[in-house]
Structure 1
Amino acid sequence: METGYSKIRKDLAEELLNKIKSCNPYFFESIVLDLLIKLGYGGSDEKNKKVTKKSNDEGIDGIIKEDKLGLDLIYVQAKKWENPVSGTEIQKFAGALQVQRAKKGIFITTSMFTTNAHEYVSKMDSKIVLIDGAELTDLMIEYNVGVSTKQTYEIKKVDLEYFNED
C-alpha cells in the first residue's frame, strides 16, 4: 500500500511541476508567495506578501514579511527555468539582496541548482535558501497549494481492546 501511495504522490508531483512550468512567469511568482504564506511566513496573512513590479524588479520577484509583525523581510527570486540555476545567478540575487540591505532570501526554481550554486550559498554571510522543482512540488503537496484531496481511504484494523473478555 505504501508503494502505491508513493507512486501516486510521485506522479502528482510530476504533473504539478509540468503544470507550473506551463504557467506564465508572473503567475509562478504568485504561486511561490502563496506557498510561503502557507508555510507560515507573514504570519500566514495574505496581506504580508508582495509581488514586485513586472519590469525593473532589480532581481527581486517578491517580498514577504518573516512574521506577522514584519520584524524582518525575506526577498524572493522565482525562476521558471528548464536549465539548472548556476552560481552566477545566485551571485546576482545576492547582489540584489545587498542593494536592499537584506539578510535573508529564498531562490526558488522549477529546475535544479548546480553544485556551484550550492557551494556559493554555503559560503555567504547572508542566508539564502535554495528550493528546486522537486522540493517545490513536495512542499506544495504537503501544504495543499495548487492541489486538492481527490479521495480519502480509511484503513481499519481489529480493535483488540474491544475483544478483551476480562
Structure 2
Amino acid sequence: MASFSKSAAPFALLFLIPGLLVYVKQNLNRAPKDLTLIKRKSAEPYVNTTPNYSQNKLKDIPSFNQVKIPEPINEWSLSLLKEIEWKRFEMLCAEYFRCLGKRVETINNGADGGIDARIFSDKTDLLEYAIQCKSWSNLVSIKPLRELYGVMSHEAAAKGIFMTTSDFTNEAKQFAADHNNKLFLINGEKFVSMILKLPKLTQKKLLAYATEGDYKTPSCPSCGIKLLRRASKDRSFWGCSNFPKCRTTMHI
C-alpha cells in the first residue's frame, strides 16, 4: 500500500501544475490594474484631517491667568438700571415705595390697563397714585402720558407717576407740567438718585432684590416666564418657550 502511494504522487503533481499555472496567469493579468490603482491613489495629495488644536482651537481659549472674575455688583448706577428687564423693573419700582412705608398693589401679568402698580392712602383705601413703569431705551413720548392720565381719571387716582429707565421728550415734560403737578415723571437718573438717598442697608436689599438670578432676560408678559432667544432668516428676537400656544415676541 505504501509503495502504491509513492508511485501515485508524481501523477498527482501533473494534475496540480496546470491549475497552478492558470491561477498565476490570472493574477498577473490583474496586476497592472491593481498597480495603476495604487499609483493613482498615491499621486493624490495627502490631507491631514487631524484637528490642529494648538493653532485652531486653543487660540480662542484664554489661559488660566487671563481669566477675569466678574466684578460683584455692589452699588447702584444708571447703567445697571438699564440692564434690568422690564418685569423686574416694575417689581423694583413697587418695592421702592414699599421701602418708604407705602401700601402698594402690583398688577398681574398680562394687559395692565395702562398702569403697573397702585399706591393707596395710608389712612384710607382711596387710590393715591397710579404708577406706570417702562424699561425703555428710547425717550418716553407724550402718548403714554396721555394714556396714564386717562387711567387716572377712570380709577379716580389723585396723582400719577411715570417711571422709566430712559428719559422723557420735551413734549412729554410739558404735558406733565400743564396738569397742575398731578403727573410726576421719574427718569432713570432720578430714580437712581432716589435709591441712593435711602439708608445703606435698604439700598443693598433693593440691589440684591433687583439682581437676584436672571434679571436681564425679558419675561413674557402673557406667561410670566423668561423668553428664549430665537432666530429667523432675517432677524433675532425673543420668543416664548410656550410657542405655539403663546406667540409673544420682543425685539432684541
TM-score, with normalisation over the residues of structure 2?
0.47
Higher-RCO chain (CA-CA 8 Å, sequence separation at least 6)? 1
| Cα deviation code 1:70-103 (max 9, x no counterpart) | 4443110011011111112211111121221222
Tell me the matched-pair count.
130
Q: Which residue number in structure 2 is paired with residue 103 of structure 1?
A: 158
2:191 to 131, 136, 144: 136
Aligned Cα root-mean-square deviation (Å): 2.2
| Cα deviation code 1:52-81 (max 9, x no counterpart) | 022111011001223254444311001101
Q: Which residue number in structure 2 is paired with residue 32 of structure 1?
A: 93
Q: Are 1:112 and 2:167 matched, yes or no?
A: yes
Asked if structure 2 preserves the Cα contact closer than 8 Å seen for 1:108 and 1:132, the reply is: yes
1:92 to 147, 152, 158: 147
* Partner SS for 1:53: coil
* Partner SS for 1:111: coil
* Partner SS for 1:85: coil
1:20 to 81, 87, 110: 81
In 1, Cα distance between equivalents of 2:133 and 2:140: 11
State the structure with more CA Rg: 2
In 2, Cα distance between equivalents of 1:101 and 1:28: 25
Distance change >3 Å, CA 69–CA 99, structure 1 → 2: closer
2:107 to 15, 35, 52: 52
1:83 to 124, 138, 142: 138
Unmatched 5+ residue regions in structure 1? 1-11, 43-47, 149-166
Asked if structure 2 preserves the Cα contact closer than 8 Å seen for 1:60 and 1:77, the reply is: yes
In 1, Cα distance between equivalents of 2:174 and 2:191: 20
Q: Which residue number in structure 2 is paired with residue 156 of structure 1?
A: none
Q: Shift of the alpha carbon at 1:21?
A: 2.4
Distance change >3 Å, CA 124–CA 84, structure 1 → 2: same
In 2, Cα distance between equivalents of 1:91 and 1:71: 22
Unmatched 5+ residue regions in structure 2? 1-74, 209-252
Q: Which amino acid aligns with 1:49?
A: V
* Partner SS for 1:59: coil
* Partner SS for 2:115: coil
2:122 to 67, 75, 90: 67
Q: Shift of the alpha carbon at 1:51?
A: 1.1
Asked if structure 1 preserves the Cα contact closer than 8 Å seen for 2:127 and 2:156, the reply is: no
Distance change >3 Å, CA 96–CA 115, structure 1 → 2: same
Distance change >3 Å, CA 125–CA 100, structure 1 → 2: farther
TM-score, with normalisation over the residues of structure 1?
0.69
Asked if structure 2 preserves the Cα contact closer than 8 Å seen for 1:13 and 1:134, the reply is: no
